[in-house]
Structure 1
Protein backbone atom coordinates (compact mmCIF):
# COMPACT_ATOMS: atom_id res chain seq x y z
CA UNK A 1 0.00 0.00 0.00
CA UNK A 2 1.63 3.29 -1.09
CA UNK A 3 2.45 5.59 1.78
CA UNK A 4 0.70 8.96 2.05
CA UNK A 5 -2.37 8.06 0.00
CA UNK A 6 -5.62 7.12 1.73
CA UNK A 7 -6.70 3.56 0.97
CA UNK A 8 -9.32 3.04 -1.70
CA UNK A 9 -12.77 2.33 -0.25
CA UNK A 10 -14.06 -1.19 -0.47
CA UNK A 11 -16.63 -1.73 -3.22
CA UNK A 12 -16.96 -5.51 -3.06
CA UNK A 13 -16.85 -7.75 0.00
CA UNK A 14 -16.89 -11.51 0.50
CA UNK A 15 -19.28 -12.95 3.07
CA UNK A 16 -17.57 -14.85 5.88
CA UNK A 17 -20.59 -15.60 8.06
CA UNK A 18 -24.28 -14.85 8.36
CA UNK A 19 -25.49 -14.35 11.94
CA UNK A 20 -29.30 -14.52 11.89
CA UNK A 21 -29.56 -13.42 15.54
CA UNK A 22 -26.77 -10.87 15.60
CA UNK A 23 -23.69 -10.94 17.82
CA UNK A 24 -23.55 -13.76 20.38
CA UNK A 25 -22.31 -11.67 23.35
CA UNK A 26 -25.14 -9.18 22.77
CA UNK A 27 -27.29 -9.51 25.92
CA UNK A 28 -30.45 -8.13 24.31
CA UNK A 29 -33.02 -10.79 23.59
CA UNK A 30 -35.38 -8.48 21.73
CA UNK A 31 -34.79 -6.70 18.43
CA UNK A 32 -31.72 -8.68 17.49
CA UNK A 33 -30.98 -8.00 13.88
CA UNK A 34 -29.24 -10.33 11.47
CA UNK A 35 -25.62 -9.47 10.74
CA UNK A 36 -23.13 -10.39 8.07
CA UNK A 37 -19.39 -10.55 8.70
CA UNK A 38 -17.30 -10.01 5.58
CA UNK A 39 -13.89 -9.10 4.23
CA UNK A 40 -13.29 -6.50 1.52
CA UNK A 41 -11.62 -7.57 -1.71
CA UNK A 42 -9.38 -4.52 -2.14
CA UNK A 43 -7.85 -3.80 1.29
CA UNK A 44 -9.08 -6.88 3.17
CA UNK A 45 -11.01 -4.76 5.67
CA UNK A 46 -13.05 -6.88 8.06
CA UNK A 47 -16.54 -5.50 8.51
CA UNK A 48 -19.94 -6.08 10.00
CA UNK A 49 -22.97 -5.38 7.81
CA UNK A 50 -26.74 -5.54 7.94
CA UNK A 51 -28.33 -7.57 5.14
CA UNK A 52 -31.49 -6.45 3.37
CA UNK A 53 -34.62 -7.84 4.96
CA UNK A 54 -35.34 -11.41 3.92
CA UNK A 55 -31.90 -11.96 2.34
CA UNK A 56 -29.66 -14.74 3.66
CA UNK A 57 -26.18 -14.41 2.12
CA UNK A 58 -24.01 -17.52 1.93
CA UNK A 59 -20.35 -17.75 2.95
CA UNK A 60 -17.99 -16.84 0.14
CA UNK A 61 -20.59 -14.84 -1.79
CA UNK A 62 -19.48 -11.55 -3.38
CA UNK A 63 -21.63 -8.62 -2.30
CA UNK A 64 -21.56 -5.06 -3.56
CA UNK A 65 -21.12 -2.51 -0.76
CA UNK A 66 -20.15 0.60 -2.73
CA UNK A 67 -22.37 3.64 -3.14
CA UNK A 68 -25.59 3.16 -5.04
CA UNK A 69 -28.10 0.35 -5.20
CA UNK A 70 -27.27 -2.82 -3.29
CA UNK A 71 -28.99 -6.19 -3.74
CA UNK A 72 -27.88 -8.07 -0.63
CA UNK A 73 -26.48 -5.61 1.91
CA UNK A 74 -28.56 -2.80 3.37
CA UNK A 75 -25.61 -1.00 4.97
CA UNK A 76 -22.15 -1.46 6.43
CA UNK A 77 -22.32 -1.03 10.22
CA UNK A 78 -18.67 -0.83 11.16
CA UNK A 79 -15.17 -2.09 10.72
CA UNK A 80 -14.29 -4.97 13.04
CA UNK A 81 -11.13 -6.67 14.30
CA UNK A 82 -10.18 -10.30 13.73
CA UNK A 83 -11.01 -11.05 17.38
CA UNK A 84 -14.63 -10.02 16.76
CA UNK A 85 -15.17 -12.56 13.99
CA UNK A 86 -17.37 -15.55 14.74
CA UNK A 87 -15.69 -18.96 14.83
CA UNK A 88 -17.29 -19.80 11.49
CA UNK A 89 -15.96 -16.58 9.96
CA UNK A 90 -12.45 -17.34 11.25
CA UNK A 91 -12.62 -20.79 9.65
CA UNK A 92 -13.91 -19.37 6.35
CA UNK A 93 -11.40 -16.49 6.16
CA UNK A 94 -8.35 -18.42 4.78
CA UNK A 95 -10.42 -19.95 1.97
CA UNK A 96 -12.05 -16.64 1.04
CA UNK A 97 -8.70 -14.83 1.02
CA UNK A 98 -7.15 -17.50 -1.18
CA UNK A 99 -10.11 -17.24 -3.58
CA UNK A 100 -9.65 -13.46 -3.79
CA UNK A 101 -5.92 -13.91 -4.46
CA UNK A 102 -6.52 -16.48 -7.21
CA UNK A 103 -9.25 -14.41 -8.88
CA UNK A 104 -7.04 -11.30 -8.94
CA UNK A 105 -3.81 -13.09 -9.88
CA UNK A 106 -2.22 -10.18 -11.85
CA UNK A 107 -2.44 -7.93 -8.78
CA UNK A 108 -0.64 -10.44 -6.57
CA UNK A 109 1.92 -11.67 -9.12
CA UNK A 110 2.95 -8.00 -9.33
CA UNK A 111 4.17 -8.33 -5.74
CA UNK A 112 6.71 -10.95 -6.83
CA UNK A 113 7.74 -8.76 -9.78
CA UNK A 114 8.00 -5.44 -7.92
CA UNK A 115 8.94 -6.23 -4.29
CA UNK A 116 12.13 -4.58 -3.15
CA UNK A 117 14.35 -4.35 -0.09
CA UNK A 118 12.83 -3.08 3.17
CA UNK A 119 16.14 -2.64 4.98
CA UNK A 120 19.73 -3.50 4.15
CA UNK A 121 19.19 -6.95 5.69
CA UNK A 122 15.58 -7.70 4.78
CA UNK A 123 13.66 -7.96 1.51
CA UNK A 124 9.88 -7.60 1.13
CA UNK A 125 9.68 -11.13 -0.32
CA UNK A 126 10.86 -12.47 3.04
CA UNK A 127 7.63 -11.19 4.61
CA UNK A 128 5.82 -14.08 2.96
CA UNK A 129 5.76 -17.17 5.20
CA UNK A 130 8.12 -19.85 3.93
CA UNK A 131 10.35 -17.53 1.90
CA UNK A 132 13.84 -17.26 3.29
CA UNK A 133 17.06 -15.94 1.77
CA UNK A 134 17.55 -18.86 -0.62
CA UNK A 135 14.06 -18.64 -2.18
CA UNK A 136 14.23 -14.84 -2.19
CA UNK A 137 17.45 -14.94 -4.25
CA UNK A 138 15.92 -17.51 -6.61
CA UNK A 139 12.92 -15.22 -7.22
CA UNK A 140 15.15 -12.16 -7.71
CA UNK A 141 17.47 -13.98 -10.14
CA UNK A 142 14.56 -15.33 -12.17
CA UNK A 143 12.75 -12.00 -12.41
CA UNK A 144 15.92 -10.44 -13.90
CA UNK A 145 15.24 -12.69 -16.92
CA UNK A 146 11.74 -11.24 -17.24
CA UNK A 147 8.64 -10.58 -15.16
CA UNK A 148 6.52 -13.46 -13.92
CA UNK A 149 3.32 -13.78 -15.93
CA UNK A 150 1.31 -15.97 -13.54
CA UNK A 151 1.58 -18.10 -10.42
CA UNK A 152 2.16 -21.13 -12.69
CA UNK A 153 5.04 -19.30 -14.41
CA UNK A 154 6.49 -18.36 -11.00
CA UNK A 155 6.33 -21.94 -9.70
CA UNK A 156 7.84 -23.31 -12.92
CA UNK A 157 10.77 -20.87 -12.92
CA UNK A 158 11.55 -20.83 -9.17
CA UNK A 159 12.32 -24.32 -7.95
CA UNK A 160 11.23 -24.92 -4.38
CA UNK A 161 8.45 -22.33 -4.43
CA UNK A 162 5.05 -24.00 -4.25
CA UNK A 163 1.55 -22.53 -3.98
CA UNK A 164 2.47 -18.81 -3.98
CA UNK A 165 -1.23 -17.99 -3.64
CA UNK A 166 -1.25 -19.77 -0.27
CA UNK A 167 1.82 -17.82 0.89
CA UNK A 168 0.13 -14.52 0.02
CA UNK A 169 -3.16 -15.63 1.61
CA UNK A 170 -1.34 -16.62 4.81
CA UNK A 171 0.45 -13.25 4.93
CA UNK A 172 -2.87 -11.43 4.52
CA UNK A 173 -4.41 -13.53 7.30
CA UNK A 174 -1.40 -12.81 9.56
CA UNK A 175 -1.78 -9.07 8.93
CA UNK A 176 -5.49 -9.26 9.84
CA UNK A 177 -4.84 -11.28 13.00
CA UNK A 178 -2.08 -9.06 14.43
CA UNK A 179 -2.80 -5.34 14.92
CA UNK A 180 0.84 -4.75 15.85
CA UNK A 181 2.46 -6.40 12.81
CA UNK A 182 5.40 -4.25 11.73
CA UNK A 183 5.09 -4.32 7.93
CA UNK A 184 1.70 -4.22 6.22
CA UNK A 185 1.84 -5.33 2.62
CA UNK A 186 -1.72 -6.15 1.63
CA UNK A 187 -4.02 -4.75 4.33
CA UNK A 188 -4.82 -1.31 5.71
CA UNK A 189 -3.83 -0.18 9.17
CA UNK A 190 -6.24 -1.31 11.88
CA UNK A 191 -8.78 1.16 13.12
CA UNK A 192 -7.73 3.44 15.96
CA UNK A 193 -9.52 2.70 19.21
Structure 2
Protein backbone atom coordinates (compact mmCIF):
# COMPACT_ATOMS: atom_id res chain seq x y z
CA UNK A 1 0.00 0.00 0.00
CA UNK A 2 1.36 3.42 -0.91
CA UNK A 3 1.64 6.30 1.55
CA UNK A 4 -1.17 8.08 -0.27
CA UNK A 5 -3.45 5.09 0.12
CA UNK A 6 -2.61 4.83 3.81
CA UNK A 7 -3.20 8.55 4.33
CA UNK A 8 -6.77 8.40 3.07
CA UNK A 9 -7.78 5.19 4.81
CA UNK A 10 -9.43 6.90 7.78
CA UNK A 11 -11.74 9.07 5.71
CA UNK A 12 -12.68 6.10 3.56
CA UNK A 13 -13.23 3.83 6.56
CA UNK A 14 -15.75 6.09 8.30
CA UNK A 15 -18.79 4.02 9.12
CA UNK A 16 -22.37 4.77 9.95
CA UNK A 17 -24.24 3.47 12.96
CA UNK A 18 -25.24 0.25 11.19
CA UNK A 19 -21.65 -0.55 10.26
CA UNK A 20 -22.02 0.18 6.56
CA UNK A 21 -19.35 2.21 4.80
CA UNK A 22 -20.15 5.83 4.13
CA UNK A 23 -18.93 7.92 1.23
CA UNK A 24 -15.73 9.84 1.87
CA UNK A 25 -16.99 13.41 1.69
CA UNK A 26 -15.06 16.64 2.14
CA UNK A 27 -15.70 20.38 1.93
CA UNK A 28 -13.57 22.27 -0.59
CA UNK A 29 -11.34 24.99 0.87
CA UNK A 30 -9.56 26.20 -2.27
CA UNK A 31 -9.47 25.29 -5.97
CA UNK A 32 -6.42 25.88 -8.18
CA UNK A 33 -7.53 25.30 -11.80
CA UNK A 34 -3.95 25.62 -13.08
CA UNK A 35 -2.36 23.39 -10.46
CA UNK A 36 -0.01 24.31 -7.63
CA UNK A 37 2.14 27.39 -8.29
CA UNK A 38 5.20 25.62 -6.87
CA UNK A 39 4.84 22.79 -9.41
CA UNK A 40 7.59 23.48 -11.93
CA UNK A 41 6.15 21.32 -14.69
CA UNK A 42 4.71 22.89 -17.84
CA UNK A 43 1.07 23.91 -17.55
CA UNK A 44 -0.16 21.18 -19.90
CA UNK A 45 1.28 18.54 -17.54
CA UNK A 46 -0.39 19.90 -14.39
CA UNK A 47 -3.79 18.82 -13.14
CA UNK A 48 -6.20 21.13 -11.34
CA UNK A 49 -5.66 20.92 -7.58
CA UNK A 50 -7.97 21.53 -4.64
CA UNK A 51 -7.68 21.49 -0.86
CA UNK A 52 -10.46 20.03 1.25
CA UNK A 53 -11.55 19.25 4.82
CA UNK A 54 -12.92 15.77 5.49
CA UNK A 55 -16.33 15.67 7.14
CA UNK A 56 -15.85 12.54 9.26
CA UNK A 57 -12.42 13.08 10.82
CA UNK A 58 -11.59 16.70 9.82
CA UNK A 59 -8.56 15.50 7.87
CA UNK A 60 -6.97 17.94 5.43
CA UNK A 61 -6.52 16.74 1.86
CA UNK A 62 -4.89 17.79 -1.38
CA UNK A 63 -6.96 16.62 -4.33
CA UNK A 64 -5.89 16.17 -7.93
CA UNK A 65 -8.99 16.94 -9.95
CA UNK A 66 -10.07 15.73 -13.36
CA UNK A 67 -9.70 18.38 -16.07
CA UNK A 68 -13.47 18.68 -16.52
CA UNK A 69 -14.30 18.88 -12.79
CA UNK A 70 -16.82 21.66 -12.16
CA UNK A 71 -16.27 22.50 -8.48
CA UNK A 72 -16.03 25.60 -6.30
CA UNK A 73 -14.94 26.57 -2.80
CA UNK A 74 -17.42 25.37 -0.12
CA UNK A 75 -18.75 22.56 -2.35
CA UNK A 76 -19.11 19.12 -0.77
CA UNK A 77 -17.20 16.59 -2.85
CA UNK A 78 -17.03 12.81 -2.87
CA UNK A 79 -13.32 12.02 -2.56
CA UNK A 80 -13.85 8.73 -4.38
CA UNK A 81 -16.13 10.30 -7.00
CA UNK A 82 -15.50 11.00 -10.68
CA UNK A 83 -14.24 14.58 -10.16
CA UNK A 84 -11.20 13.41 -8.13
CA UNK A 85 -8.38 11.45 -9.75
CA UNK A 86 -6.43 11.01 -6.49
CA UNK A 87 -5.98 12.61 -3.08
CA UNK A 88 -3.58 12.61 -0.17
CA UNK A 89 -3.47 13.76 3.42
CA UNK A 90 -1.68 17.06 4.09
CA UNK A 91 -0.98 19.25 7.12
CA UNK A 92 -2.32 22.72 7.86
CA UNK A 93 1.02 24.22 6.85
CA UNK A 94 0.63 22.71 3.37
CA UNK A 95 -2.56 24.67 2.67
CA UNK A 96 -2.74 27.76 0.51
CA UNK A 97 -3.51 31.01 2.27
CA UNK A 98 -7.04 30.94 0.84
CA UNK A 99 -7.62 27.37 2.02
CA UNK A 100 -6.42 28.23 5.53
CA UNK A 101 -8.79 31.20 5.64
CA UNK A 102 -11.74 28.92 4.78
CA UNK A 103 -11.21 26.49 7.66
CA UNK A 104 -13.63 28.13 10.09
CA UNK A 105 -16.38 28.40 7.46
CA UNK A 106 -15.97 24.75 6.49
CA UNK A 107 -16.02 23.58 10.11
CA UNK A 108 -19.18 25.60 10.70
CA UNK A 109 -20.85 24.04 7.65
CA UNK A 110 -19.95 20.52 8.79
CA UNK A 111 -21.17 21.09 12.35
CA UNK A 112 -24.42 22.75 11.27
CA UNK A 113 -25.18 19.95 8.79
CA UNK A 114 -24.91 17.29 11.52
CA UNK A 115 -25.70 19.12 14.77
CA UNK A 116 -26.66 16.01 16.70
CA UNK A 117 -23.22 14.47 16.19
CA UNK A 118 -21.60 17.42 17.96
CA UNK A 119 -24.31 17.92 20.59
CA UNK A 120 -23.59 14.32 21.56
CA UNK A 121 -20.11 15.42 22.60
CA UNK A 122 -21.78 17.05 25.61
CA UNK A 123 -23.68 13.80 26.24
CA UNK A 124 -20.75 11.43 25.81
CA UNK A 125 -17.52 13.27 26.76
CA UNK A 126 -15.38 11.22 29.14
CA UNK A 127 -12.45 11.71 31.53
CA UNK A 128 -9.01 11.78 29.90
CA UNK A 129 -7.05 11.50 33.16
CA UNK A 130 -7.97 11.64 36.84
CA UNK A 131 -7.76 15.44 36.69
CA UNK A 132 -8.67 16.24 33.09
CA UNK A 133 -11.98 15.68 31.30
CA UNK A 134 -12.71 15.99 27.58
CA UNK A 135 -15.13 18.81 28.40
CA UNK A 136 -12.21 20.82 29.81
CA UNK A 137 -10.64 20.90 26.34
CA UNK A 138 -13.41 23.23 25.18
CA UNK A 139 -12.53 26.94 25.48
CA UNK A 140 -13.93 28.51 28.63
CA UNK A 141 -15.07 25.28 30.30
CA UNK A 142 -13.46 24.87 33.69
CA UNK A 143 -14.29 22.64 36.63
CA UNK A 144 -17.59 24.32 37.55
CA UNK A 145 -19.09 24.28 34.06
CA UNK A 146 -17.85 20.76 33.48
CA UNK A 147 -19.57 19.55 36.62
CA UNK A 148 -22.80 21.33 35.62
CA UNK A 149 -22.78 19.54 32.28
CA UNK A 150 -22.08 16.17 33.93
CA UNK A 151 -24.83 16.69 36.51
CA UNK A 152 -27.38 17.92 33.98
CA UNK A 153 -26.84 15.16 31.45
CA UNK A 154 -27.69 12.60 34.14
CA UNK A 155 -31.22 14.00 33.98
CA UNK A 156 -31.44 13.26 30.27
CA UNK A 157 -29.42 13.70 27.07
CA UNK A 158 -29.11 17.06 25.35
CA UNK A 159 -30.96 17.18 22.03
CA UNK A 160 -29.61 20.44 20.57
CA UNK A 161 -27.10 23.21 21.20
CA UNK A 162 -30.02 25.41 22.22
CA UNK A 163 -30.99 22.90 24.88
CA UNK A 164 -27.41 22.72 26.17
CA UNK A 165 -27.41 26.50 26.55
CA UNK A 166 -30.82 26.52 28.22
CA UNK A 167 -29.98 23.79 30.72
CA UNK A 168 -26.40 24.75 31.61
CA UNK A 169 -26.19 28.04 33.47
CA UNK A 170 -23.09 29.96 32.40
CA UNK A 171 -22.49 28.07 29.13
CA UNK A 172 -23.62 30.68 26.64
CA UNK A 173 -22.19 29.43 23.35
CA UNK A 174 -22.02 25.62 23.29
CA UNK A 175 -21.89 25.54 19.49
CA UNK A 176 -19.20 28.20 19.20
CA UNK A 177 -16.83 26.55 21.69
CA UNK A 178 -17.09 23.31 19.69
CA UNK A 179 -16.28 25.23 16.49
CA UNK A 180 -13.32 26.93 18.15
CA UNK A 181 -11.89 23.68 19.50
CA UNK A 182 -12.18 21.87 16.15
CA UNK A 183 -10.45 24.74 14.32
CA UNK A 184 -7.66 24.74 16.92
CA UNK A 185 -7.14 20.98 16.53
CA UNK A 186 -6.91 21.38 12.74
CA UNK A 187 -4.37 24.20 12.93
CA UNK A 188 -2.14 23.01 15.78
CA UNK A 189 -0.04 19.88 15.19
CA UNK A 190 1.43 19.79 18.70
CA UNK A 191 -1.72 19.58 20.83
CA UNK A 192 -1.43 16.84 23.45
CA UNK A 193 -5.11 15.88 23.30
CA UNK A 194 -7.42 15.73 20.30
CA UNK A 195 -11.15 15.28 20.64
CA UNK A 196 -12.51 15.86 17.15
CA UNK A 197 -9.69 15.78 14.58
CA UNK A 198 -8.33 12.43 13.46
CA UNK A 199 -10.88 10.34 15.34
CA UNK A 200 -10.65 6.83 13.93
CA UNK A 201 -7.44 7.48 12.00
Q: Given the two structures, how large is their TM-score scaled by the length of structure 2?
A: 0.82
Q: Secondary structure at the match of 1:117?
A: coil
The alignment partner of 1:79 has SS state of strand
RMSD in angstroms over aligned alpha carbons?
A: 2.0
Q: Offset of 1:166 from its aligned partner?
A: 2.1
Q: Are the structure 2 counterparts of residues 7 and 79 from structure 1 closer, same or farther at C-alpha, using a change threshold of 3 Å?
A: closer
Residue 145 of structure 1 deviates from its aligned partner by: 1.4
Contact 1:109 1:148 in 2 (8 A): yes
* 1:11-160 alignment, distance < 5 Å: 11-30=24-43, 31-66=45-80, 70-71=81-82, 73-160=83-170
Contact in 2 for aligned 1:18/1:37 (Cα 8 Å): yes
> 3-state DSSP class of the match of 2:102?
helix
Secondary structure of 1:96's counterpart equals helix
TM normalised by structure 1 equals 0.85
Q: CA deviation at 1:55?
A: 2.5
Change (3 A) 1:60 1:112: same
* Cα distance, 1:8 vs structure 2: 5.2
CA contact (8 A) 2:30 2:99 kept: yes
- Aligned residue for 1:170, secondary structure, equals helix
SS at match of 2:29: strand
Asked whether the 8 Å contact 2:28–2:72 carries over to 1, the reply is: yes
Deviating 4+ runs (over 6 angstroms): none
> How many Å apart are 1:134 and its aligned residue?
2.0
Instruction: Tell me what 1:3 maps to.
Output: none
What is the alpha-carbon distance in structure 2 between the residues aligned to residue 152 and residue 75 of structure 1? 41
Q: Is the 8 A contact 2:108 2:179 kept in 1?
A: yes
Unaligned segments of structure 2, at least 5 residues: 1-8, 15-23
Equivalences, count: 181
Query: CA offset at residue 29 of structure 1?
Result: 4.2
C-alpha distance in 2 between matches for 1:160 and 1:29: 58
Q: Contact (CA 8 Å) 2:50, 2:63: kept in 1 or not?
A: yes
Match of 2:177 in 1: 167
State the secondary structure of the residue aligned to 1:39.
strand
Contact 2:48 2:66 in 1 (8 A): no
